[in-house]
Chain A
Amino acid sequence: MTSTLPRVDTASAAAPQRRRRAPGWLAVVPLLVVTVIAFGIPALAMLNGAFTVKDQATGATSYTTANLTDSLQGAYLTALLGSVKLSALSAALATVLGLFLAQAVVTSRFRALRDAVLTASGVLANFGGVPLAFAFVATLGNSGVLTQHLGLKDAGWDLYSFWGLTLVYLYFLIPLMVLTITPALEGLRAQWREAAQNNGATHAQYWRHVALPVLTPSLLGGFVLLFGSAFAAYATAAAMVGSSVPLVTLQIADAISGNVLVGQENVALALSLDMVLVAGLVMAVYLPLQRRSARWLA
């Protein structure tokens, strides 16, 4: 690690000696070395661990797909599906609600309001994790302000549930959607709407046949991005619900902390691999969609 840092300096210091052509790639080397150490080794360790089992009696390790099979069964499968369900639902809700909010912002005549909403979205999309969980516990938790004043508990409200978690996730997902979709909405040309109107289309027809088809790649791209965010979320759920809602991130955390049966540690790595595959899939969908929407709305 430390040995790679000074090379940054030598790279720029060596440059003046070779007057014109500085060895440019030399400046990239430290970055690559650190990434290989800090990212590559843990990633390979995870991959390797996901496919190995250690025999408790002999201590010998062997390669197997048993961990992966285990990670797709029983409680682990429940957790994985729970995460997928929660992420898909909250991402879908946030996509729709974010679209409405963004459309209201984009068509607003008040520049100040618009800027305020966009800045607030930037802040709130970053407002994940522990503070968010506590803000909602203070609001809608068992002794939360709203829970007590409105008597929500008798009405059957429970923040520490699937729906409670969905409500909390929307808090950072909707702003994220507003930020993602605003450029696309701004790209919708006024001429398209006028052309549709001149041809006798109603408001609804314009949206159904013109605006939504153009927006579809951006909306889908935004959805998978939101899905990925919700899927990877851990701190909010951990600080809020503990393990009352089955989520794959909570399962992995349990396993890392040693709260599982002996010999099951590598199942956590297999679960991590499952997560990476899902996240990889999300990115594989997102990037082409982003490119396509850029083509339309450039």
Chain B
Amino acid sequence: MARLNPWRWVVFGLAALYFLVPLGASVIFSVDVNDRITFGAYSQIVSTGGFVSSLVLALELAAATIVLVLLLMVPAMVALRLGAPRLRPVVEVVCSLPLVVPPIAFVAGISTVLKWGPDYLSRTPFFETIVAIQNPDFPFVLVLAYVVMALPFVYRALDAGLRAIDVPTLVEAARSCGANQTQALLRAVLPNLRGALLNASFLTLALVLGEYTVAHLLGFQPFAVWIVDVSGSQAQMSVAVSVLSLLVTWALLLALAALGGRSASSRTVSRGKTTS
């Protein structure tokens, strides 16, 4: 029988200590100037050069990645249930492959490809494509990389959502009621996937906002890269920004937990892999 067990409280106590102290210390560090409490570090953030532009860039990248990955994945996943079950293993493998390639190895490959531009392709139309996707105002190459990195999570989120509904029956039923195929998909299937779509979008959002490796090594400066860049000169502010970004991520994920129910376990598995 599970009774009041002293060792359990030891375990919980130690865990609470280990997980809460760094958070508390960060907050203290960011507000404590010579033993006086001041929120200067937080108010400075907004006025520091690059804050707004890097945040906007990160949000734009996140929005583009979410739109693209959902446009690619939702029709494919629905089609797997409706008309192409034989492609299922193919899609599953394709969506799992990014797990085998660590982000740093992936970006090593990307930067090799990008170097082909000046080296081999300078007289072909590909060269202009390669230049265009590296436009610092909106580096589309990052969107492509993030789409690939998001595939495993989006796959799992959508798969869980689709598993909960019977797509063929749903489409059949909608069509019996006079809907055509498009209406059936848009008005019967998609609304039932709302939770899964939100889930997938939030995961992708968290991934893109926290992503450092690829953006840093390709030389772009979205939010996570900007934090590191300013930290050299202003340690206190960088901790303040970290605290803020943590709070935002928490809010997002808690909202996700509230909206999507208890499916937290499956998606987290590789997040550590991608950002840490």
CB-CB under 8 A from A239, the residues of chain B are 212, 228, 231
CB-CB under 8 A from A27, the residues of chain B are 75-76, 78-79, 84
Contact yes or no, B212 A138, CB < 8 A: no
Interface residues of A in 253-280 (CB under 8 A from B): 253, 255-257, 268-269, 272-273, 275-276, 279-280
Q: Report the contact-size class of chain B (Cβ under 8 Å from the partner).
A: 35 or more
User: Is residue A82 within 8 Å, beta carbon to beta carbon, of the partner chain?
Assistant: no
CB-CB under 8 A from B52, the residues of chain A are none
User: Is residue B46 within 8 Å, beta carbon to beta carbon, of the partner chain?
Assistant: no
The answer to whether residues A139 and B72 also contact, given A125-B268, A179-B268, A283-B99 and a CB cut-off of 8 A, is no
The answer to whether residues A235 and B224 also contact, given A129-B276, A272-B108 and a CB cut-off of 8 A, is yes
CB-CB under 8 A from B76, the residues of chain A are 27-28, 30-31
Contact yes or no, A176 B269, CB < 8 A: yes
Choose from A28, A123, A140 the contact partner of B87 (Cβ within 8 Å). A28
The answer to whether residues A146 and B112 also contact, given A24-B84, A38-B144, A101-B15 and a CB cut-off of 8 A, is no
User: Is residue B104 within 8 Å, beta carbon to beta carbon, of the partner chain?
Assistant: yes
Contact yes or no, A41 B113, CB < 8 A: yes
Tell which of A12-20, A62-70, A208-216 binds the partner.
Answer: A12-20
Contact yes or no, A130 B100, CB < 8 A: no
User: Is residue B73 within 8 Å, beta carbon to beta carbon, of the partner chain?
Assistant: yes
Contact yes or no, B15 A131, CB < 8 A: no
Contact yes or no, A233 B22, CB < 8 A: no
Contact yes or no, A122 B253, CB < 8 A: yes
Contact yes or no, A252 B84, CB < 8 A: no
Contact yes or no, A100 B246, CB < 8 A: no
How many A-B pairs have beta carbons closer than 8 Å: the answer is: 318
* CB of B220 to closest CB in A, whole Å: 13
Contact yes or no, B105 A272, CB < 8 A: yes
CA distance A5 to B144 in the complex (A): 13
Residue of B29, B107, B231, B239 with most chain A CB atoms under a 10 A cut-off: B29
User: Is residue A298 within 8 Å, beta carbon to beta carbon, of the partner chain?
Assistant: no
Contact yes or no, B273 A16, CB < 8 A: no
User: Is residue A223 within 8 Å, beta carbon to beta carbon, of the partner chain?
Assistant: no
* CB of B133 to closest CB in A, whole Å: 8
The answer to whether residues A22 and B71 also contact, given A125-B272, A180-B269, A235-B275 and a CB cut-off of 8 A, is no
CB-CB under 8 A from B37, the residues of chain A are none
User: Is residue B21 within 8 Å, beta carbon to beta carbon, of the partner chain?
Assistant: yes
The answer to whether residues A34 and B147 also contact, given A100-B11, A232-B102 and a CB cut-off of 8 A, is yes
CB-CB under 8 A from A275, the residues of chain B are 102, 104-105
CA distance A71 to B139 in the complex (A): 31
CA distance A2 to B203 in the complex (A): 24
CB-CB under 8 A from A118, the residues of chain B are 262, 264-265
On A, residues with C-beta under 8 Å from B are 1, 5, 8, 11-13, 15-16, 21-28, 30-32, 34-35, 37-39, 41-46, 49, 100-101, 104, 107-109, 113, 117-132, 134-140, 143-146, 169-176, 179-180, 182-183, 225, 228-236, 238-239, 249, 252-253, 255-257, 268-269, 272-273, 275-276, 279-280, 283
Q: A43-B109, A131-B246, A135-B23 are in contact. List 8 more A-B contacts (CB 8 A).
A: A16-B181, A28-B79, A101-B12, A107-B8, A118-B264, A125-B272, A232-B104, A234-B104
Closest 9 CB pairs of A and B: A24-B83, A128-B276, A42-B109, A24-B84, A232-B102, A272-B105, A122-B264, A138-B29, A46-B109
